[in-house]
Chain A
Amino acid sequence: MKVDRRSFLSFVIGGAAGTALSPLPWKLMDDSSIWSQMWPWTPVPPDGEVVYENSTCSLCPGGCGISVRKVDNRAVKIEGRPGHPVNDGSICILGLSGLQMLYGPTRIKSPMKRIGERGEGKWQKISWDEAIAILTEKLTDIRDKGEAHTVAAIAGSDSGTVPALIRRFMTAYGSPNFMRSPSQRDVDELAVKALFGGDGRTGFDVENADYILSFGSGFVDGWGSPVRMFKAASLWKEKNITVVQVEPRLSNSAAKATRWVPLNPGTEADLALGIAAVLVDENMLDTRAVSGLGSWKNDLLAAYATEKVSQTTGVAAGVIVDLAKGFAGANRPLALCGRGKGLVSGSLRETAAVYLLNALSGNINREGGMWAMPEADYIQWPDVATDNLASAGLVQPRLDGAGTGKYADARYLTNRLADSVNGGGPYPMQALLVAGANPCHDLPDTQRVRAAFARIPFIVSFSSFQDETAAMADLLMPDHVYLERYEDVPIGAGLAQQMIGLSKPVVSPQFNTRHLGEVLIATAMAMGGSIANAFPWDDYETCLEETLAEKWDSLMETGVWVQADTEPVADTFQLAGMDAPAVQAEGDVNSFPLLLVPYDAIQLTSGYVGEAPFMIKAVADTVIKGTDGFIEVNPQTARAAGLAEGERARLTTPRGEAQVCVHLFEGIQPGVLAMVRGLGHTAYDGHLAGKGVNINELIGPVEDPSTGFDAAWGIRAKLAKA
């Protein structure tokens, strides 16, 4: 057939018209739109039966009740548990993000041993039996050499059965070196001992107070039990009571307060004592519960005359008198302390001074007041029968010096750990076990901490996550995360009640992880002898059930156990600790003309877990932008340094230097810089690593001479254009 131009054109045109009129193009168009609505790479979450499981959140000390929504065996959402005595249905940003931790890619998915250089990140998966065998062998070796005391353990907390098992293991093994991550709890316990004469902690009946004087406590920035404090702050608004926030920076708590009183950083104790002096001077006090006041009154008045205090603190004399009158004039005034979330041990002088204000207002162990709460005592295990090796180890001094000499009153001085390992201690550390803590990121002067870790020959991390400390370890024995395990959660965190929450496995373990309690029991069994005898339980669950005894059933049913009546430690307040010298910021004024102070934000975690992607997403772009971290600078200070909003600058302190971005903020005193605590991770994945600066790289511990605790509230600094 001869195809001429004409028939060819007819064919093409006719063909095109025919195709267009056929259903084919329409069908293809429709199909493509349907395909675009369910692209195979967009996940489709499977449906299933919905159930809610109750448990307790242990991501921070708050102890909130949670209700986890599950679809079949997937946990899909964490919500606050309605009716729970701590949080009654509400929940915080961290608690909400828990599932990103449970299912996150930064979990340690199996026990592993290091095969590359330390910190290089080369690991080999091993079985649990092998992991326990390695640990047992190492520990037995050290112990057999009579050096059991050279093994140390750091835990996130020392309350509850799991920390108690660690401590028991250390005791049976023969080491006095059990340590806890530092927090305001350190100074609080010490203050209760000094002021009330017994072991315990303070509790604050914030719901019933009618005047709040907070010395930098971030009551809506994560202080205490965060959700409970948020609720209290709203209650204060509803009841229209006066809330005064004393701190150098306009924090969210300051913004929520009725009145923000900025003061020179680090002078909170002076202001508290100045207010106490006004109370004494004007005789606006209730001395029933205070002993030893008589002779001390004159010293107080002499040392803390209003004008003098005004000079020290930068708070006008009239304001000091105002605060004193307001405080004294209220029916149930309450003073709080512990900066921000209370992540630093803190100064005894400051703590005692604030507690004194409570005592002077007559609110000790009263409704709306401050309570001296005894320690929870439900863990009643028989004493460990130690063998000779253990007994010899236990009489050795602690590596951090706590409990002896000038540190006689301190239980743990984890802040002194780095110096001790770096050569200042009585003996070298040979092995370290870390559980529920991330000292390589969270302890001040991180460089020195990392240097110390580099010297420790054997480090075991029980972390569930690939954190900075796990990166330095030799053996990883990952614990379940809280949603996969049973655990008792004794709730302290400033509650004026004794409470225990119960964490229950909401989902089965996602990876080849093992409960820390189980690992300890198994290791003790493997080590045998007196150590094995100290652990008479088949498994952790039995241990927990036996320990909780009559509380077990109600905990299983309701998830929380509340002690009906608590006998306070004591009703009398003895004056102590207030004559200690003030804690100064490290650094020389001439080389470092500015002051850098850390601040806490609720969007960042307060404990050892790294921030989940959701939390980082909620962080403002004036805190992190890309990987840049910001410091807050008063515009006046910035102008003097020739810096504009968003500009990069070099921040130098006696401990280190970092590149930061400048955020101009009128809520901070000229000459003071503020940086958020918690960022600058080097571990975890790209959702967290490398974002911002870890302030612990810039700040070092400053020892409170009266206790040995780290009481650093800031450090001198200088700022220059990058």
Chain B
Amino acid sequence: MDSALIPKGVKRCPMWQFLLGLGIVGAVLAWGVYAMLLVWFKGLNQTNMNDYYGFALWIWADLAVIALGGGAFFSGLLKYIVGKDELKNIINYAVLIGFICYSSALLILAIDIGQPLRGWFIFWHANVHSMLTEVAFCLSCYFAVLTIEYIPLILENRQLDKVPFFHNLSHNMHETMAVFAATGAFLSFFHQGSLGGVAGVLFGRPFAFREGLLIWPWTFFLFTWSAAAYGPCFTLLITWITEKVARKKLVKDNVIELLAKISGWMIFTYTIAKICDTTRWANITAPGLGQNLADFYTGNAFYGYWILFAEIILGGVVPAIILISAPLRKNPTWRVTAFFLGVMGVSLNRWVMVLQVMAVPIMPFDTWALYYPSWQEVATTILPVAYGIILIMISYRYLPIFPQEAELNPIQEEAAMAVEPHTESVPDLKPANA
């Protein structure tokens, strides 16, 4: 039915299967959209946020998707600037995941602010001292870069590519991609860092506050670093999931292992830096403000020392060791475990830097404030996930995302020709594979 749009040399699931999958995810999306409209029309009273939790689930989701989307800028940096050419086989997918992550982040921000119609004041009346201003500018600019990186991929669709202008545009954009990638890396460095700075500059909150370099607190650098380290983990994890769903190999192991190894070393160095930072904070910064670790990790029902362990050891040291060690890295089970732990670790870090910051009492006579999200918050947070899946489904079906797919999954031309009309009438009992 849509075979004319499907890239040459690859096989895709039948249309009905595709639509069924789209329908299921679309239902989740609709639920999220309903919650989003509730929030927009009725206001933020639809959430469980309060005056102690001005930042909550959404900001965590924002920070987390931006960290996880860091795979795009970092693989771009590695491919276009450092010159790791093998990565061209995964860069498309990294860009797509990045695009999804960043567009999701912008959408969540648009839901999160109390006056979305005035959201553009952040640009118009920019306060250059605010980390959030820096985030907003760099985020939007980098989103533009990601769009620029994603456009050629769209233009490579079999039909669009037939249009000479689109073909040339795509070609030219590929040619200049290094410039965009460099700009993207520059912008990413700042907005990832600024997101770290968001918590680090809160000098009224000893739990979040960090000293630093010039105007940037240490969290600035830690966030950039961790995004570069864990972003590829997420790209690889999603690639692995896609392969499982598509039931075929899409990227060659050497590419996966290269990126996994780089990610491993990045996580390793990041974790050392994070341990240094935590040690300094626990022994110098916080005590200088009259607080110690017990003030932050005891006296409440949820936040205990376990969270430090889970973030730094389980989410840092363990995946770093797995990915650095060649035998473990080459073992798919271990490797995927490491990806999963890494993603968990960085997400937990973002959680701590948003939610725990809000939870810890600061004035000695204040109390811990715990929070759980409302269904509207949960739905609007799942909304981007559904949107991401849909975008991946469509992109995978119609765009040549994985350059190695055809080579890894050769199909006989005649068989394909014979099968295609057939599948339209006979129900395929196999599960959906796209």
- Whether A and B touch directly in their complex, counting CB atoms under 8 A apart, is answered as yes
List residues of chain A with CB under 8 Å of any chain B CB: 6, 9, 29, 32-33, 35-37
For the A-B complex with A29-B120, A33-B118, A36-B115 known, give 11 more contacts whose Cβ atoms are closer than 8 Å.
Answer: A6-B163, A9-B163, A32-B117, A33-B115, A33-B117, A33-B120, A33-B121, A35-B117, A36-B117, A36-B118, A37-B118
| B163: chain A residues within 8 A (beta carbon) | 6, 9
User: What's the least CB distance linking B388 to chain A, in Å?
Assistant: 25
Nearest 8 interchain pairs by C-beta: A32-B117, A36-B117, A33-B118, A33-B117, A36-B115, A36-B118, A29-B120, A6-B163
| B118: chain A residues within 8 A (beta carbon) | 33, 36-37
14 chain-A/chain-B pairs, Cβ below 8 angstroms: A6-B163, A9-B163, A29-B120, A32-B117, A33-B115, A33-B117, A33-B118, A33-B120, A33-B121, A35-B117, A36-B115, A36-B117, A36-B118, A37-B118
Inter-chain CA distance A36–B119, complex, in Å, is 11
Inter-chain CA distance A35–B116, complex, in Å, is 12
| B117: chain A residues within 8 A (beta carbon) | 32-33, 35-36
Closest B-chain residue to A33, C-beta based?
A: B118
User: What's the least CB distance linking B81 to chain A, in Å?
Assistant: 32
Inter-chain CA distance A36–B115, complex, in Å, is 7
Closest A-chain residue to B119, C-beta based?
A: A33
Inter-chain CA distance A29–B115, complex, in Å, is 13
Size of the chain B interface, CB-CB below 8 angstroms: 6
Chain B, residues 92-128, CB within 8 Å of chain A (1/0): the string is: 0000000000000000000000010110110000000
User: What's the least CB distance linking B124 to chain A, in Å?
Assistant: 9
Closest B-chain residue to A37, C-beta based?
A: B118
Inter-chain CA distance A6–B120, complex, in Å, is 35
Inter-chain CA distance A350–B120, complex, in Å, is 70
Closest A-chain residue to B163, C-beta based?
A: A6
| A29: chain B residues within 8 A (beta carbon) | 120
User: What's the least CB distance linking B270 to chain A, in Å?
Assistant: 40
Inter-chain CA distance A72–B115, complex, in Å, is 34
Inter-chain CA distance A29–B120, complex, in Å, is 9
Inter-chain CA distance A37–B117, complex, in Å, is 10
| B120: chain A residues within 8 A (beta carbon) | 29, 33
| A33: chain B residues within 8 A (beta carbon) | 115, 117-118, 120-121
Chain B, residues 119-157, CB within 8 Å of chain A (1/0): the string is: 011000000000000000000000000000000000000
Inter-chain CA distance A390–B115, complex, in Å, is 71
| B121: chain A residues within 8 A (beta carbon) | 33
Closest B-chain residue to A6, C-beta based?
A: B163
User: What's the least CB distance linking A656 to chain B, in Å?
Assistant: 33
| B115: chain A residues within 8 A (beta carbon) | 33, 36
Chain B, residues 247-264, CB within 8 Å of chain A (1/0): the string is: 000000000000000000
| A36: chain B residues within 8 A (beta carbon) | 115, 117-118
Inter-chain CA distance A684–B121, complex, in Å, is 44
Inter-chain CA distance A32–B121, complex, in Å, is 12
In this complex, which of B117, B120, B121 has the most chain A Cβ atoms within 10 angstroms of its Cβ?
B117
Inter-chain CA distance A623–B115, complex, in Å, is 34
Chain B, residues 159-181, CB within 8 Å of chain A (1/0): the string is: 00001000000000000000000
User: What's the least CB distance linking B226 to chain A, in Å?
Assistant: 35
Inter-chain CA distance A35–B115, complex, in Å, is 11
Inter-chain CA distance A9–B159, complex, in Å, is 13
Inter-chain CA distance A716–B71, complex, in Å, is 70
Query: Which residues of B, 224-267, contact A by the 8 Å Cβ criterion?
Result: none
Closest B-chain residue to A31, C-beta based?
A: B117
Closest B-chain residue to A32, C-beta based?
A: B117
User: What's the least CB distance linking A252 to chain B, in Å?
Assistant: 17
Closest A-chain residue to B120, C-beta based?
A: A29
Inter-chain CA distance A284–B136, complex, in Å, is 78
Closest A-chain residue to B166, C-beta based?
A: A9
Inter-chain CA distance A36–B163, complex, in Å, is 44
Inter-chain CA distance A273–B115, complex, in Å, is 67
| A9: chain B residues within 8 A (beta carbon) | 163
User: What's the least CB distance linking B112 to chain A, in Å?
Assistant: 16
User: What's the least CB distance linking B169 to chain A, in Å?
Assistant: 11
| A32: chain B residues within 8 A (beta carbon) | 117
User: What's the least CB distance linking B190 to chain A, in Å?
Assistant: 26
User: What's the least CB distance linking B269 to chain A, in Å?
Assistant: 44
In this complex, which of A33, A35, A37 has the most chain B Cβ atoms within 10 angstroms of its Cβ?
A33
| A6: chain B residues within 8 A (beta carbon) | 163
Closest A-chain residue to B164, C-beta based?
A: A6
In this complex, which of B115, B118, B121, B163 has the most chain A Cβ atoms within 10 angstroms of its Cβ?
B118
Inter-chain CA distance A35–B118, complex, in Å, is 10
Inter-chain CA distance A312–B375, complex, in Å, is 58
User: What's the least CB distance linking A30 to chain B, in Å?
Assistant: 9
Inter-chain CA distance A29–B121, complex, in Å, is 11
Inter-chain CA distance A341–B199, complex, in Å, is 49
User: What's the least CB distance linking B48 to chain A, in Å?
Assistant: 16
Inter-chain CA distance A9–B117, complex, in Å, is 30
Inter-chain CA distance A642–B163, complex, in Å, is 78
User: What's the least CB distance linking B40 to chain A, in Å?
Assistant: 12
User: What's the least CB distance linking A490 to chain B, in Å?
Assistant: 43
Inter-chain CA distance A32–B118, complex, in Å, is 8
Inter-chain CA distance A670–B40, complex, in Å, is 51
Inter-chain CA distance A32–B117, complex, in Å, is 6
User: What's the least CB distance linking A6 to chain B, in Å?
Assistant: 7
Inter-chain CA distance A37–B121, complex, in Å, is 13
Inter-chain CA distance A36–B117, complex, in Å, is 7
Closest B-chain residue to A36, C-beta based?
A: B117
| A37: chain B residues within 8 A (beta carbon) | 118
Closest B-chain residue to A5, C-beta based?
A: B163
User: What's the least CB distance linking A641 to chain B, in Å?
Assistant: 23
Closest B-chain residue to A10, C-beta based?
A: B165
Inter-chain CA distance A33–B121, complex, in Å, is 9
Inter-chain CA distance A205–B121, complex, in Å, is 60
Inter-chain CA distance A32–B115, complex, in Å, is 10
Inter-chain CA distance A36–B120, complex, in Å, is 13
User: What's the least CB distance linking B4 to chain A, in Å?
Assistant: 13
Inter-chain CA distance A9–B115, complex, in Å, is 35
Closest B-chain residue to A29, C-beta based?
A: B120
User: What's the least CB distance linking A395 to chain B, in Å?
Assistant: 64
User: What's the least CB distance linking A38 to chain B, in Å?
Assistant: 12
User: What's the least CB distance linking B164 to chain A, in Å?
Assistant: 10
Inter-chain CA distance A9–B118, complex, in Å, is 32
Inter-chain CA distance A234–B154, complex, in Å, is 76
User: What's the least CB distance linking A666 to chain B, in Å?
Assistant: 15
Chain B, residues 387-423, CB within 8 Å of chain A (1/0): the string is: 0000000000000000000000000000000000000
Closest B-chain residue to A9, C-beta based?
A: B163
User: What's the least CB distance linking A75 to chain B, in Å?
Assistant: 30
| A35: chain B residues within 8 A (beta carbon) | 117
Closest A-chain residue to B159, C-beta based?
A: A5
Inter-chain CA distance A706–B227, complex, in Å, is 82
Closest A-chain residue to B160, C-beta based?
A: A9
Inter-chain CA distance A452–B336, complex, in Å, is 78
User: What's the least CB distance linking B405 to chain A, in Å?
Assistant: 28
Inter-chain CA distance A33–B122, complex, in Å, is 13
Inter-chain CA distance A6–B163, complex, in Å, is 8
User: What's the least CB distance linking B293 to chain A, in Å?
Assistant: 26
Inter-chain CA distance A33–B119, complex, in Å, is 9
Inter-chain CA distance A32–B120, complex, in Å, is 11
Inter-chain CA distance A33–B125, complex, in Å, is 13
User: What's the least CB distance linking A20 to chain B, in Å?
Assistant: 14
User: What's the least CB distance linking B222 to chain A, in Å?
Assistant: 36
Inter-chain CA distance A9–B154, complex, in Å, is 15
Inter-chain CA distance A695–B115, complex, in Å, is 45
Inter-chain CA distance A32–B40, complex, in Å, is 14
User: What's the least CB distance linking A250 to chain B, in Å?
Assistant: 17
User: What's the least CB distance linking A48 to chain B, in Å?
Assistant: 30
Inter-chain CA distance A29–B124, complex, in Å, is 12
User: What's the least CB distance linking A42 to chain B, in Å?
Assistant: 12
User: What's the least CB distance linking B33 to chain A, in Å?
Assistant: 20
User: What's the least CB distance linking A502 to chain B, in Å?
Assistant: 43
